Amino acid sequence: MNLKTLSTIAICILFVFSVKSSVAQYPGMAQFRSQQNLQFVSQQMNLQMLAMQNMRGVSVGGIENDFVVTMLDSSKKEFKSAIYTDSATKKHFIVYIDKKYKKTDTNRYKKIYPSQTLNLVCVLVAKDDVNDNPGEYVPGIPTDSCWMFKVISGHISVYSFLVKNQSFPILPSTFVGLQLNGGPIIPYNEASLKSIIADDSDAMESFQKKKYEKAIKRYNSDMEKKDKN
């Protein structure tokens, strides 16, 4: 080994020790590296957010649910999603994440509209045979613009484009369908509701105050009392 080689090795060793010494002398380097890692994670999250924004979707439920979806070709998909509204068409959709694509690839996020499905079921509580729990499953009826989920049952059943959840109330602004005594589902609006409850003074009192959910529940309660008499 010649002198030049030895000299090179010595310089390399000194450089390594110098780096280690500088890190020891400047503990802020650890914090700096931590900040760099956080920035990287933040960048990845921002890229995913941009991918979702490109889908022109606004979440209307705010809560993700587990769904089992049967597509028009009879294939099934099971995944978790919030319910979104397309800002252009005003139609509702859910998002299936195709994990064969990278997180930064917009193809990873697939919008599924009601018209693309044969049926949809929201799994609020999965079946548990061990504990003899049948589970809680809420079917969604596909229409041209949304899935309809039953949120009020009785003589008048009411359907919403959101799944009923204990975390927040279902507002009348989400109601899309009315069903009287198990008959056909008709579009929900003030006129159709009024035509059904017009002869019930208690229900109409709430209706006049624009407390539509209360009006429906009052009507259902009054009808149940009549059925018992």
pLDDT tens string 17-76: 443 444 344 445 455 355 444 544 444 444 444 444 445 556 665 689 999 999 999 999
Whether 80 maps to a domain, the answer reads yes
CA distances from 134 to 27, 33, 126, 128, 163 (A): 57, 50, 8, 6, 19
The answer to whether 180 and 156 are in contact (CB under 8 A) is yes
Q: Please write the tens of the pLDDT for every residue from 172-226.
A: 999 999 999 999 999 999 999 999 999 999 999 999 999 999 999 999 999 999 9
95 class by beta-carbon count within 10 Å (0-12 exposed, 13-18 middle, 19+ buried): buried
Whether 211 maps to a domain, the answer reads no
Whether 156 maps to a domain, the answer reads no
Whether 224 maps to a domain, the answer reads no
- Would you state the torsion angle of the CA atoms of residues 170, 176, 180, 181, taken in this order, to the nearest 10 degrees? -60
Pairing of strands 175-180, 185-187: antiparallel
Domain range for 47: 29-142
Whether 102 maps to a domain, the answer reads yes
How many domains, in total, are found in the chain?
1
Whether 64 maps to a domain, the answer reads yes
Whether 161 maps to a domain, the answer reads no
| pTM given for the model | 0.72
Separation CA 186–CA 177 (nearest Å):
5
Whether 93 maps to a domain, the answer reads yes
The band of 166, judged by pLDDT with boundaries at 50, 70 and 90, is low
